[in-house]
Structure 1
Amino acid sequence: MKLVMPRLDKAQVLVVGDLMLDRYWHGPTSRISPEAPVPVVKVDQREDRPGGAANVALNITALGGGVSLVGIVGQDEAGQALEQQLNSARVNCQFCRSRNEPTITKLRVLSRHQQLIRLDFEERFSAEYSVGLQQQTEALLGNVSALVLSDYDKGTLSNPGVLIQAARKAAVPVLVDPKGSDFERYRGATLLTPNMGEFEAVVGECGSEQELVEKAQHLIEQLELDALLVTRSEQGMTLILPGQNEVHFPARAREVFDVTGAGDTVISTLATALAAGESLEVATGLANIAAGIVVGKLGTAAISGPELRRAVNLEQGSERGVISDEQLMIALEDARAAGEKIVFTNGCFDILHAGHVGYLEQARAQGDRLVLAINDDESVRRLKGDGRPINPAERRKAVLAGLEAVDWVVSFQEDTPERLLQQVRPEVLVKGGDYGLDQVVGGEFVSSYGGEVKVLSFLDNCSTTAIVEKIQGS
């Protein structure tokens, strides 16, 4: 699927949900308190950011879309600060104001980019505001092309069903970021975007891709949804549409600093793209790229339109990334349907060096797609001994997925990749080092069905073991 950036400035979105103010106090720490065994932070910087549904709205306007925001704040300084920030970002704020409950505020104390503590100031909002919220929502539906319900289970969305019904009556798609294990309350929504934990809390544990899809299809039918998007952390996202094959989007993050607000980024990008006239599949591809950007930032952060556009041009959506075995089989089926030649190689790749990079570039040149299989941590330890790997599998996969030569990265538990090779059945099997063709693990199998087996050389004087020994000896 080829992605292009739509005219997001044409989108008009309505967001209803739990409003929050995220506060960050930063400062150095150089001593332990004499009063208790805790670090003393000298606060020298304070920062406020909209959170929860407010962060969804902020993301939409940062992408270039127009947005109206409905929610509840207290009659306090935090509520004023939140509204001021949102107004300055061109968010149309339509707030209910509570006399009894405070604006939900989350205070984080950080030192050297490390979060030391979070303090929450909140009380659950009562159901008395639901009528007012419904009236405000219905008054705004005629001017928007998508409705987002951002539920953090703080009481704002005590009766989401009436909002969903009003939106569907107005022919406005409804996207819900759900909370809790009662998804019945979101019946009739266009799309739910649960994470894997939230999804399994409702349908039960999923032991395979097939089971996940089957349970998702059942949930779609049961709740009368148009689609379901399950966000799966390092395994990307899976979009399920009724009666159709699932569409998987591998994770795009290169380095993860903070997952705060990642779900907000996903649903805001989805809603903005849909409101701009894009299909659900294209909107999900854009949301996947946006999520990969935001987890590389600290705290709740909005993705700008230019940032997303650059990433789309560089990454082209769901074409590459870290992937599971079952997801790889689906991707390979699509690649072969397009006539692409699959190359397979494997190794530990504990410390990436120039020899690895040059070798992987040579391997990729042998075909159209390169599958890189790496030994998991226990497998590396068995092969290399105690103290290895230096870098755990998730970090190795993230770094390798960032190389231009690599299309898909997958890990295996065994000492050799023979099981995985039998599933992939590559057109070309490549191995680096001083091997003879008859010494390449899996070579006989690949040759048996007419595949090619090739041995490529690493660059001279490049060895992970030598690098580790040099570091340990220094």
Structure 2
Amino acid sequence: MSARGPLVVVGDVLLDEDVTGEATRLAPDAPVPVVEVGAERRRPGGAGLAALLAARDGREVVLVTALGADPASEAVRAMLAPHVRLVELPLAGTLPVKSRVLADGRPLVRMDRGGGTAGPPGPAVRAALAGAGAVLVADYGRGAADAVRDALADAARRVPLVWDPHPRGRGPVPHARLVTPNEHEARRFVREHCPRAPGAALDDGDGTLGGHALRGALLAERWRAASVAVTLGERGAVLLHADSDEPQYVPVAAAGECDPCGAGDCFAATAAIALADGGLPSEAVGRAVAAAAAFVAGGGVAGLADQGGAPRPGALAPGGGVPRDLAGIRALIQEVRARGGTVVAAGGCFDLLHAGHVQFLENARRTGDCLVVCVNSDASVRRLKGPGRPLNPAADRVRVLGGLGCVDAVAEFGEDTPEALLRELRPDVWVKGGDYRVSDLPEAAALREWGGQTLVLPYLDGRSTTELARRAARTGR
């Protein structure tokens, strides 16, 4: 997170309730399914969910929202307080409660009740926005964003601001770094905000990438936004920049048939984090598409912890689809072992990832049911390989490794050997690539402490990072 200040999330919070079960018969008095209830879950929704997802990697997140003294407000306040810092607006009325009944994972009916209006901001709200390092607005049209609109307009001139719009809310303030409507919202906003739009933009039947790009470009101009990303669900997103006529399509690597509820909040939160960390809008959207897809594939909101609403460790990875924090990796290992599976770990620098690395990791994954890659930090690589290395920073190496289908988790370590990390993870099998002998590996002794096995797998002949770097240097002369 930037040293300039925390990520401040502004918007309307809801209390979400899910009643889940099985429906195997119809009621005798009406042709409706009878749901045998298996579980009931509650969690913060709206801006509350976005704030929780933004805080999943431990960064400081401040949530500016309207809460009252009603039971729903008290419940949400208790869920949020351990994970984000709350700066409250007064709420006239009650917090909205959204209840869904799901059978076999599919929604059957939704019931909404309650609702209130956000009051004027106090000094603490204005101070939070003045000290923000980045801002995410989740405007559900219930007044929280409107109450601080002037302060948001000022923030947009100073720091990255992401605006996640909704049909009931107003358009974003000028100079937003990124606005993230979904395809249905984009069509509606064009009709409402761009009355002189060409007929092609108003054609609701045009679901082509060109149609989405046209609508995104019109909205970027109308809203005076630096960029607009029209999200397309399992198809990814189309990104438009205000200063370019060239749309950028960001596809989803893999899509699943899961509950998409909350995916938009995950997308916006991930994009805001990326921009807060200095990324470009294109990088932010790429990370957001991957994170939203992983969120849905991991069960969506059903993958969040019961009652508390915080993400389960390992349910989400910052900016990608595999866990990269120790808590998340431990949870993954526990799940694999609960199924009777074998946990494999493999290690290396993985600088300039090449075909030899990929074959090695694919072979390592075949030796078990889960592969955790332990990758040397930049300082560790520099000590081992000398000045000028690594060629790629650790963040990039971790990201590339996490994108491989054979990799289930990635962990970075700063020592010369991964012994300390392996003692934390206690894998069943440790795999090293190259021409080593098991007896030469100091970490082999650690594996024996808990009955683990050490294997050495060869790389492809003629493939090495050093040789690739030499060839690149000769070509560049």
Contact 1:164 1:189 in 2 (8 A): no
Q: Where do 1:436-447 residues align within 5 Å? A: none
Q: 1:94 aligns with which of 87, 91, 114?
A: 87
TM-score, length-scaled by structure 2: 0.56
Question: Which residue of the partner structure matches residue 172 of structure 1?
Answer: 159
CA 1:234–1:9 in structure 2 vs 1: closer, same or farther (change >3 Å)? Answer: farther
Who is 1:79 aligned against?
Answer: 73
> 1:141 aligned to 118, 122, 129, which one?
129
Distance change in 2, residues 1:153/1:297 (3 Å): farther
Residue pair 1:137, 1:163 contacting (<8 A) in 2 also: no
Are 2:251 and 1:250 aligned?
yes
Whichever residue aligns with residue 161 of structure 2, its letter is V
Q: What do the CA deviations read for 1:315-334 (whole angstroms, capped 9, x no partner)?
A: xxxxxxxxxxxxxxxxxxxx
Confirm or deny: 8 A CA contact 2:106 2:259 kept in the other structure: no
CA distance in 2, matches of 1:34, 1:216: 49
SS at the partner of 1:132? coil
Residue 163 of structure 1, CA deviation: 3.2
User: For 1:260, what is the secondary structure of its paired residue?
Assistant: coil
Which of these residues, 120, 123, 132, is aligned with residue 121 of structure 2? Answer: 132
Secondary structure of the corresponding residue to residue 61 of structure 2: strand
2:223 maps to a residue whose letter is L
Q: Does 1:202 align with 2:176?
A: no
1:259 maps to what in 2?
260
Structure 2 unaligned spans of 5+: 191-200, 305-310, 324-403, 407-477
Identify the range of structure 1 (196-205 vs 177-186) with the bigger mean alpha-carbon deviation. Answer: 177-186
Report the CA distance between 1:54 and its aligned residue. 0.3
Aligned-partner residue type, residue 95 of structure 1: E
Deviation string, structure 1 residues 123-174 (Cα, Å, up to 9, x no partner): 2x336x1x227x44321124331111101223333356413223135x1222
In structure 2, the residue matched to 1:162 is 150
- Counterpart of 1:191? 178
| Counterparts of 2:240 and 2:173, CA distance in 1 | 17
The alpha-carbon deviation at position 305 of structure 1 amounts to 8.5
Flag structure 1 segments of 5+ consecutive residues without an equivalent.
Answer: 1-6, 315-401, 405-474
* Structure 2 counterpart of 1:294: 295
From 94, 116, 120, the equivalent of 2:112 is 120
In the aligned structure 1, how far is the partner of 2:48 from the partner of 2:81? 11
Matches within 5 A, 1:201-280: 201-203=188-190, 204-205=201-202, 207=206, 209-210=209-210, 212-244=212-244, 245-280=246-281
> RMSD of the alignment, in Å?
3.2
Task: Look up the SS of the partner of 2:94 in the other structure.
Answer: coil
CA distance in 1 between counterparts of 2:48 and 2:105 reads 23
Residue 11 of structure 1 and its aligned partner are, at CA, apart by 7.8
Determine the C-alpha separation between the residues in 1 that align with 2:285 and 2:60: 19
Distance 1:10-1:250 versus aligned 2 partners, 3 A rule: farther
Is residue 253–residue 295 contact of structure 1 (8 Å, CA) maintained in 2?
no
Q: CA deviation at 1:176?
A: 0.6
- In 2: Cα distance, 1:305 partner to 1:284 partner: 23
Separation of aligned partners in 2, 1:305 and 1:175: 26
Residues 39 and 162 of structure 1, relative CA distance in 2, 3 Å threshold: same
Alpha-carbon separation, structure 2, partners of 1:9 and 1:62: 18
Match of 1:435 in 2: none
Query: Structure 1-normalised TM-score?
Result: 0.57
Q: Read off the aligned partner of 1:158 and give its amino acid letter.
A: D
Tell me the distance in 2 between the aligned counterparts of 1:212 and 1:25. 35
Indicate whether 1:109 and 2:101 are aligned: yes
Q: Is the 8 A contact 2:239 2:249 kept in 1?
A: yes
Q: Match for residue 320 of structure 1? A: none
SS class of match (2:62): strand
Matched residues, percent identical? 28
